[in-house]
Structure 1
């Protein structure tokens, strides 16, 4: 059985066929696949703490060393609100009513105050 179309979709990522021919052969064999695509390769984007989704980044090829990405856990209300906001953005983008350029911050005075505050290692405010 060498036809990869009969294999379940979770066994072989579509981009791996072109970038890694060995993955196509590995998916057709009886052995399990060891490599699983990262969240960025699947199209998931990490959420920023204040401001919605991060800007899209091109998928990066997997490196030799295993990089462990910690997921961002949110509660149910936050999760549903994130999904609702994504749907609203998609709808506005369809209608071309979404401005492509977003402000880096909303209030100048708050930004200036935040820039003056002392920060610790990792960028968090000390006070």
Structure 2
């Protein structure tokens, strides 16, 4: 992190992204609730059963990818700290890098699902 202003801009951008992801998640959940209810009651179509299965599988895949990316970014941040990039602003930037890397697969999936399910309805 170069300075406090850079960190502040990054925090603001992250806040806006959070709102975008929340909106996409709400869109996805509202589109899938009828499918989940149908699958739970035994009255689901084959397409609804497949969507319910894919929903669970993609969450596991995104979590697995996020763990790997977060671990890799943690290692990179550790190397930066070990080479002297350890002032408070740099540390905040390193932590944000790890969080961004770990959540990237889930963020991509949420956005893609919201676009796909919004078109379907």
* Bin of the TM-score, shorter chain as denominator length: under 0.3
- The structure whose residues are more often helix, as a share, is 2
Bigger RCO of structures 1 and 2 (CA < 8 A, at least 6 apart): 2
Please tell me whether Structure 1 or Structure 2 has the larger radius of gyration of its CA atoms.
Answer: 1
